Amino acid sequence: MNNCGAGVKRILVVEDDPEISLVCSKILTSKALEIDIAHDGKMAGEMLERKNYTLCLIDLKTLMKNDRQLYQYMNEKHPKLLNGAIFTGVGLVAGRSKVFMKQTPRLFLHKPFAPEWLKEIVGKTLSQVNNEDYRTNKTAYR
**What is residue 133's predicted lDDT score, i.e. its pLDDT?**
45
53 three-state secondary structure? coil
**What is residue 96's predicted lDDT score, i.e. its pLDDT?**
61
**What is residue 52's predicted lDDT score, i.e. its pLDDT?**
93
CA-angle at 67, arms to 65 and 72, nearest 5° = 135
**What is residue 89's predicted lDDT score, i.e. its pLDDT?**
83
Comparing C-alpha atoms, which of 68, 62, 73, 60 is closest to residue 39? 62
Number of domains in the chain: 1
Decide if 73 is inside a domain: yes
**What is residue 130's predicted lDDT score, i.e. its pLDDT?**
76
Question: Whole-model pTM?
Answer: 0.81
pLDDT block averages, 10 residues each, the chain of length 142: 62 94 91 90 92 92 68 88 87 62 76 92 89 49 48
Query: Residue 45 sits in a domain of what CATH number?
Result: 3.40.50.2300
DSSP code at position 82: G
**What is residue 30's predicted lDDT score, i.e. its pLDDT?**
77
Decide if 4 is inside a domain: no
Decide if 36 is inside a domain: yes
Decide if 3 is inside a domain: no
Decide if 2 is inside a domain: no
Decide if 26 is inside a domain: yes
Decide if 43 is inside a domain: yes
Which domain covers residue 126, as residue numbers?
A: 9-141
**What is residue 93's predicted lDDT score, i.e. its pLDDT?**
57
